[in-house]
Amino acid sequence: MADIHVTSTSEEGFVTRSRVGDFELTIDATDEEGPNPNATLVADYASCYVPAFRVGGQQRGHDDLGRIEIDAAADLDDEDDLAAIRFDMQVEADLDDGEVDELVARGEDNCHVHAALRDSLHADIAVESGAF
């Protein structure tokens, strides 16, 4: 039996509604009824990376990183495939450069989406601590 089960349905056109447990997610390649698949992947990646970064912080004694915000940006190639992803992070906790580097690496190690993507598409991550 699978650990994750998703049912995705497209009645017509380019809109797909996916049922994940009790939740429904609408993805639209034309950006009319929901975000497109590339935008959804970037959002999913950022949404996975935040808790992974927090876990990395807890592993290093930073139990309260406060507010974390990611401004994610992505570039598309000529075929509209993702070519690059960048995360500009703001972290409320005041961290020194060494702590930031360690937590970024731990976040990468803990993030399941990061592990699933090809190496050339892993996010370049910049963090601004003491941001809020």
Question: Residue 108 corresponds to which tokens in the numbers above?
Answer: 């990468």
Q: How large is the average pLDDT for residues 10-28? A: 96
Burial of 13 (0-12, 13-18, 19+ CB in 10 A): exposed
Query: Are the C-beta atoms of 53 and 39 separated by less than 8 Å?
Result: no
Structural domain spans, the chain: 1-34, 37-129
How far apart, in whole angstroms, are the C-alpha atoms of residue 73 and residue 77? 14
Q: Report pLDDT for 108.
A: 96
Q: How large is the average pLDDT for residues 27-45? A: 96
| pLDDT greater than 90 at residue 36 | yes
CATH class of the domain at 37-129? alpha beta
Q: How large is the average pLDDT for residues 93-113? A: 96
pLDDT band at 121 (very low <50, low <70, confident <90, very high): confident
Q: What percentage of the chain carries pLDDT values higher than 90?
A: 89
Q: Report pLDDT for 112.
A: 95
Distances (CA, A) of 131 to 26, 32, 39, 55, 58: 33, 34, 25, 19, 19
Distances (CA, A) of 86 to 23, 24, 72, 121: 28, 27, 6, 9
pLDDT band at 91 (very low <50, low <70, confident <90, very high): very high
How far apart, in whole angstroms, are the C-alpha atoms of residue 17 and residue 86? 27
pLDDT band at 119 (very low <50, low <70, confident <90, very high): confident
